[in-house]
Amino acid sequence: MLEIVTNAHEYAARWLGVGKVASYIPSLANVEPNQLAVAITDKEGITYSAGDDDNLFTMQSVAKVLLLATALREVGFETVFRHVGMESTGDPFNSIIRLETMEIHKPQNPMINAGAIAVTSCIRGKSAQKRFEFLLEYARELLGNPQLTLDEDTFISEMKSGDRNRALGYMLRSTGVICSNVEQDLEVYFKACSILANCKEISFLGAVLAYGGVSPRTGKQLIDPTHVKYICAIMSTCGLYDASGEFALRVGIPAKSGVGGGILGVVPGKMGIGVFSPALDVHGNSVCGINAMEYLSNKLSLSVFSSVN
Amino acid sequence: MLEIVTNAHEYAARWLGVGKVASYIPSLANVEPNQLAVAITDKEGITYSAGDDDNLFTMQSVAKVLLLATALREVGFETVFRHVGMESTGDPFNSIIRLETMEIHKPQNPMINAGAIAVTSCIRGKSAQKRFEFLLEYARELLGNPQLTLDEDTFISEMKSGDRNRALGYMLRSTGVICSNVEQDLEVYFKACSILANCKEISFLGAVLAYGGVSPRTGKQLIDPTHVKYICAIMSTCGLYDASGEFALRVGIPAKSGVGGGILGVVPGKMGIGVFSPALDVHGNSVCGINAMEYLSNKLSLSVFSSVN
Amino acid sequence: MLEIVTNAHEYAARWLGVGKVASYIPSLANVEPNQLAVAITDKEGITYSAGDDDNLFTMQSVAKVLLLATALREVGFETVFRHVGMESTGDPFNSIIRLETMEIHKPQNPMINAGAIAVTSCIRGKSAQKRFEFLLEYARELLGNPQLTLDEDTFISEMKSGDRNRALGYMLRSTGVICSNVEQDLEVYFKACSILANCKEISFLGAVLAYGGVSPRTGKQLIDPTHVKYICAIMSTCGLYDASGEFALRVGIPAKSGVGGGILGVVPGKMGIGVFSPALDVHGNSVCGINAMEYLSNKLSLSVFSSVN
Amino acid sequence: MLEIVTNAHEYAARWLGVGKVASYIPSLANVEPNQLAVAITDKEGITYSAGDDDNLFTMQSVAKVLLLATALREVGFETVFRHVGMESTGDPFNSIIRLETMEIHKPQNPMINAGAIAVTSCIRGKSAQKRFEFLLEYARELLGNPQLTLDEDTFISEMKSGDRNRALGYMLRSTGVICSNVEQDLEVYFKACSILANCKEISFLGAVLAYGGVSPRTGKQLIDPTHVKYICAIMSTCGLYDASGEFALRVGIPAKSGVGGGILGVVPGKMGIGVFSPALDVHGNSVCGINAMEYLSNKLSLSVFSSVN
């Protein structure tokens, strides 16, 4: 297993130099682009990794999976999906159009920004701080790191430059999809996006999802198995922004990417995958990360659409 | 296996009476709504079926899978996807909007009407008749029925009432996505939609896709295995119109539905599924059909997103 | 002249009982719907009025004319139209779609909410309070009432329920169309909308615009004549929400309506018109108000598209 | 008057060399770009002209005014506006989007392509040929030239390259807005667009509209005065594609442009204007033509929004 991880890293490294790091906030723009790390966590909870596997990055949109898992646990399937849909959209991740055009104004799915904000509004608590702490505690279990924390600089920058998400939030409230305090929702949302992790922790989260919500290390049921199925289905159809369809064809693994350069992959019944490389393609997905995942998918026949199982 | 198929039929029959048959052409509007049939074809090519399993129905949008398979075989992956995208869309199946709004005007995917018409334009030949015969011959192999034919009445009605598809076709030609004869493309497309099949034949097509393109009866490679993976991925993200996401959550099986009431299901490595019941929900999917597939998915753990494999 | 005003009132009164008052905030929802007032101010500055001509109402969108006039005076044509376009749109007044879809993200025109907010951002000052006072002072001149003030209740309600406008504001800032403080812009905007006036004052504003920006009472040049031409042109193409075209056909007078029930009319070279009746049609325009203006237009051949001049 | 026309020509000539001729069909692409002509027809029916005033050009979208006048005469206001709206749109002239998004699917106004096709469907007759002859006969009266004819080459090219309009036509029929034969409607529409005229004839049409529908030469009532008011209002809000608003500000004259380089102007009660110069700006309007009209508007205070009358 270590060999295949090492080979995937080597293969993906060919794309180092391609793509650009996210530039909308300084803490992302200043990241060293030539980082690359690949990790797999298997049935026994053993993690194999290669490259810059201790390097931390902000989870960004990968945290949408955490937000969804937390909201599902707290308020359940019915309530969550009263605030957000299950369908993918051909629109960019930050699009506001359908919040106006759809007869039912709820955002299309939990993986676009508007949907993640609606999901965030389901995570309740006395203050934004309490709500985030609740999420963080759960995230620490799910990523297998009790020290997990956020990058304060990133959070502050996101809050400052978050006008588009602010517009999404107020639009949601204007149509009654959410009735919470938008600024507080954004605080929780941006804090979640600012959580720091390395690729090994991401692969551990993938393994929890791959094994029906059970921690492969402790055997503890961390996520309801039905929720796991839902989360994987949504990652599969909407996880890589408006390149989710192409990724399904080329790779065929339920996954979620973030503009921090991380990609979380879930191979049901088999393994969790975490890759990290901050240079992004035009869709906002890690260039090396996608190639590493494609390599693993092909070498190990991991596509859920493949007949070899 | 016969027992589970029978149980699925029995379970799904509870929804008989719910939904409405398609009404836009007489040959669909006059169909008896209370038909229901379920079939599975397994690794050995044995088909188990229950209910109205000999009843014929027009394939309608299920034929989009045939069109895609035929085009991929004839002109290959590169050419097909120069005419059509791979991403799902939040829009209705017959939407024309994105043909104008997208910078690249090609339709989003091969499962929406505009995409299927673009795919059809890749199936070449001296005349519409020749082009359709080419497709029909292949379809006979894929569905395992050398007598497969079309319903002439349905075809004629579709041609007469096909103004929306005509608009899509001319829109595609106006932006250079296709440069073929639109009326001929529509003839091939509507003829493909008018092909008559029963649920056992649909399940056989599913089995061919489930086993990497190999006929489980003859062992003959009918579809390139790479194309199979692509077709299944596209069915998974776009196969049930704008309810594809919900179906992925509830059922998790790559599938394609048609307004004739049929649904094709593919469980990679495991089986092909064909269900038929003409009463449709608001999205245009068979009400009983979806419930039959959900039953099978839950009882046999067929979801590709499930950890139990 | 008094006779024609009285007749217009009598004619328009036939529509009392038709339409509904705006209901999104209490101070509008609780308004007595059966009020009706008509006023004309002529070349000499004499105002003829009939009906509830002393009744006050909040200017609402009629204030968009004040905002535009103030911004043009303060920063000039070039700067204002760097923030906002000149074209009408087929969209509802509060639509957010084009702020995303247009290549140039500036709002289409100053008469839709997004455009009025962008215009407001051009009215500068140390605080929202100062900025509004600046506008109010000018408004007092333009409406010929040194006591002009706002309705505090309406302002507070608008701020509370203003999430859609908040979304528009943050959307504008996220694309760099504005770089001001959104909450302050909204304060100025909502205060302007909450200004109380009666129909006679509105007709006086109309007269100022009808006579090239010169007060017909004092002879003072209040608005630059070029700005007057621009304001009237914009009112003509975008003044009655998405019924501006129909109003141009039926009435042909540059006008601006508000959901408070007021309509400002400008007949270039001839007169200013102010009408008020709070029951609105589906487009948000005063039912009796439109009929009063149509009566005046027909009786006095006021349409700018009429050959009789 | 001749002097002002000559001066307008001289002024507008400064923009010769700016802009590009339409290139989508050979008969437009091959036109000499440096042509320029200006004409005015006054109350007495006397036409003053300067420049290339005998040069013929195809009317293109200017013919939408003829189509509307003919349809109004044949089937009346109610019927025409059951097929088409009165509101301007922020969309390009050939946009198909709103035909899908609007609840009522009729095109927004008679000056966009979809609207003009819907208007054309109201001009009835046994064959496309008869329907066009009917229009042509009327056009000969309205332009004051009994020899008026069409350019066969342009017509044939338009039919060949007319897929976008074909898409619009079939879209209209698919939603029941029209129920006529689309190919025939397109034949009438493209023939109307191919009518050849010079700027003097265009200015005569303008004069007929300026004087309430009465020919200033014969005194004959050619267009119903109510229809004239409607036509002018529609020209004012939608006549210059998506630059209609800017034209209202700068020029303020009801006008209709065509990609052949012609612009028809109507100054109610005062004069008709015809200008011609084939190089177009990005919106499809004649560059020199707009400048000539702006010159005339400023020098003679022709803006309908100007207080000097």
Chains adjacent to B (≥3 CB pairs closer than 8 angstroms): A, D
B173 inside 8 A of chain D by CB: yes
**Residue C123 confidence (pLDDT):** 97
Chain B residues touching D95 at Cβ < 8 A: 100
Chain C residues touching D91 at Cβ < 8 A: 90
B151–chain A nearest CA distance, Å: 32
**Residue C233 confidence (pLDDT):** 97
In which band, very low, low, confident or very high, does the pLDDT at A100 lie, cut at 50, 70 and 90?
confident
B216 inside 8 A of chain A by CB: no
Of B210, B211, B242, nearest to A87 by CB-CB distance is B242
D85 inside 8 A of chain C by CB: yes
Beta bridge partner(s), residue B41: B47, B272
In which band, very low, low, confident or very high, does the pLDDT at A156 lie, cut at 50, 70 and 90?
very high
* Catalytic choice (B5, B27, B64, B182): B64
Structure tokens at B126: 């001296």
* C56, pLDDT greater than 70: yes
* Catalytic choice (B11, B48, B138, B189): B189
Alpha helices in B178-239 (DSSP H): 182-193, 199-210, 225-238
CA-to-CA distance for A136 and D82, rounded, in angstroms? Answer: 59
* A196, pLDDT greater than 70: yes
For the four alpha carbons of D74, D78, D82 and D84, in that order, the dihedral sign comes to positive
* Catalytic choice (C80, C188, C259, C287): C259
**Partner-chain contact C248 D228, CB within 8 Å:** no
**Partner-chain contact A167 C101, CB within 8 Å:** no
CA-to-CA distance for B241 and D74, rounded, in angstroms? Answer: 44
Chain B residues touching D99 at Cβ < 8 A: 96
* A283, pLDDT greater than 70: yes
B228 inside 8 A of chain A by CB: yes
Burial of residue D282 (number of CB atoms within 10 Å: 0-12, 13-18, 19+):
exposed
**Partner-chain contact D167 B96, CB within 8 Å:** yes
How many other C-beta atoms can be found within 10 angstroms of the C-beta atom of residue C104? 7
Of B95, B97, B167, nearest to D167 by CB-CB distance is B167
C96 inside 8 A of chain A by CB: yes
For chain D, report the end-to-end CA distance as a whole number of angstroms.
17
Crossing angle for the helix pair D163-174 and D113-120, nearest 10 degrees?
60
- Coil vs helix vs strand at B279: coil
For D156, residues 6+ apart whose C-beta sits below 8 A from its C-beta are none
D42–chain C nearest CA distance, Å: 13
C183 inside 8 A of chain A by CB: no
**Residue C141 confidence (pLDDT):** 98
Phi, psi of C264 (to 5 degrees): -100, 130
Q: With beta carbons less than 8 A apart as the criterion, state whether B95 and B108 touch.
A: no
Phi, psi of B239 (to 5 degrees): -80, -20
pLDDT digits (tens, 9 = 90+) for C120-176: 999 999 999 999 999 999 999 999 999 999 999 999 999 999 999 999 999 999 999
The reply to whether B259 belongs to the active site is yes
Top-confidence residue, A46 or A98: A46
A291 inside 8 A of chain B by CB: no
Beta bridge partner(s), residue D47: D41
CA-to-CA distance for C213 and C226, rounded, in angstroms? Answer: 9
Residue burial B68-79, b: 16+ Cβ < 10 Å; e: rest: bbbbbbbbeeee
**By CA distance, what is D206's nearest residue in C?**
C307
Location of structure tokens 């289409």: C108
B243–chain A nearest CA distance, Å: 7
Q: Which of C43, C223, C304 to mutate to test the interface with D (most CBs of D within 10 A)?
A: C304
Chain C residues touching D211 at Cβ < 8 A: 307
**Residue D309 confidence (pLDDT):** 53
pLDDT digits (tens, 9 = 90+) for B257-290: 999 999 999 999 999 999 999 999 999 999 999 9
Report the catalytic residues of A.
61, 64, 189, 241, 259
* A246, pLDDT greater than 80: yes
C11–chain D nearest CA distance, Å: 21
C198 inside 8 A of chain D by CB: no
Q: With beta carbons less than 8 A apart as the criterion, state whether A274 and A264 touch.
A: yes
Chain C residues touching D306 at Cβ < 8 A: 212, 229, 268-269
CA-to-CA distance for C5 and D30, rounded, in angstroms? Answer: 58
For the four alpha carbons of D291, D296, D301 and D304, in that order, the dihedral sign comes to negative
How far, CA to CA in Å, does C105 sit from each of A242, B222, C176, D284? 22, 51, 8, 21
Cβ-based contacts under 8 A for chains B and D? 50
The reply to whether C241 belongs to the active site is yes
CA-to-CA distance for A293 and A252, rounded, in angstroms? Answer: 9
Chain C residues touching D269 at Cβ < 8 A: 306-309
Chain A residues touching B234 at Cβ < 8 A: 245, 248-249
Q: How confident is the model over A191-211, as a mean pLDDT?
A: 98
Q: With beta carbons less than 8 A apart as the criterion, state whether B41 and B203 touch.
A: yes
pLDDT digits (tens, 9 = 90+) for B165-222: 999 999 999 999 999 999 999 999 999 999 999 999 999 999 999 999 999 999 999 9
* A216, pLDDT greater than 60: yes
DSSP-assigned letter for residue C253 = -
**Residue C91 confidence (pLDDT):** 80
How far, CA to CA in Å, does B52 sit from each of A72, A267, B5, B45, C31? 40, 37, 12, 20, 64
Chain D residues touching B169 at Cβ < 8 A: 167
**Residue B98 confidence (pLDDT):** 82
pLDDT digits (tens, 9 = 90+) for B9-46: 999 999 999 999 999 999 999 999 999 999 999 999 99
In which band, very low, low, confident or very high, does the pLDDT at A309 lie, cut at 50, 70 and 90?
low
Chain C residues touching A168 at Cβ < 8 A: 167
DSSP string, B124-172: --SSHHHHHHHHHHHHHHHTT-TT--B-HHHHHHHHHT-HHHHHHHHHH
Give the CA angle between residues B222, B224, B226 to the nearest 5°: 150
A167 inside 8 A of chain C by CB: yes
CA-to-CA distance for C76 and B116, rounded, in angstroms? Answer: 53
Chain C residues touching A95 at Cβ < 8 A: 100
For the four alpha carbons of B126, B132, B137 and B139, in that order, the dihedral sign comes to positive
Chains adjacent to A (≥3 CB pairs closer than 8 angstroms): B, C
Chains adjacent to D (≥3 CB pairs closer than 8 angstroms): B, C
For C78, residues 6+ apart whose C-beta sits below 8 A from its C-beta are none
Predicted TM-score (pTM) of this structure: 0.94
Location of structure tokens 């026949």: A301
pLDDT digits (tens, 9 = 90+) for D242-256: 899 999 999 999 999
pLDDT digits (tens, 9 = 90+) for C68-113: 999 999 999 999 999 999 999 878 788 888 888 777 789 999 999 9
In which band, very low, low, confident or very high, does the pLDDT at C20 lie, cut at 50, 70 and 90?
very high
For the four alpha carbons of B294, B296, B298 and B302, in that order, the dihedral sign comes to negative
**Residue A252 confidence (pLDDT):** 97
Assembly ipTM:
0.94
**Residue C309 confidence (pLDDT):** 53
Burial of residue A274 (number of CB atoms within 10 Å: 0-12, 13-18, 19+):
buried
**pLDDT < 50: residue spans in chain D:** none
**Residue B94 confidence (pLDDT):** 82
CA-to-CA distance for A52 and A59, rounded, in angstroms? Answer: 16
D163 inside 8 A of chain C by CB: no
Of B237, B306, B308, nearest to A248 by CB-CB distance is B237
Residue burial D233-269, b: 16+ Cβ < 10 Å; e: rest: bbbbbbbbbbbbbbbbbbbbbbbbbbbbbbbbbbbbb
CA-to-CA distance for A154 and A24, rounded, in angstroms? Answer: 11
Q: With beta carbons less than 8 A apart as the criterion, state whether D245 and D5 touch.
A: no
For the four alpha carbons of C156, C159, C161 and C165, in that order, the dihedral sign comes to positive
The DSSP bridge pattern shows strands B37-41 and B47-51 to be antiparallel
Beta bridge partner(s), residue D41: D47, D272
**By CA distance, what is A110's nearest residue in B?**
B245
Structure tokens at A266: 């879930």
**Partner-chain contact A225 B304, CB within 8 Å:** no
**Partner-chain contact C244 D87, CB within 8 Å:** yes
**Partner-chain contact C100 A95, CB within 8 Å:** yes
In which band, very low, low, confident or very high, does the pLDDT at A28 lie, cut at 50, 70 and 90?
very high
CA-to-CA distance for B95 and B79, rounded, in angstroms? Answer: 23
Report the catalytic residues of D.
61, 64, 189, 241, 259
C176 inside 8 A of chain A by CB: no
**Partner-chain contact B306 A229, CB within 8 Å:** yes
Chain B residues touching D97 at Cβ < 8 A: 96-97, 100-101
Q: How confident is the model over C54-67, as a mean pLDDT?
A: 98
C254–chain D nearest CA distance, Å: 8
**Residue D205 confidence (pLDDT):** 98
**Residue A96 confidence (pLDDT):** 83
* Catalytic choice (C27, C48, C64, C230): C64
CA-to-CA distance for D164 and B117, rounded, in angstroms? Answer: 16
For C16, residues 6+ apart whose C-beta sits below 8 A from its C-beta are C33, C34, C36, C277, C279, C288
Determine the number of helices (DSSP H) and then strands (DSSP E) in chain A.
Answer: 13, 7
**Partner-chain contact B88 A303, CB within 8 Å:** no
B174 inside 8 A of chain D by CB: yes
* C15, pLDDT greater than 70: yes
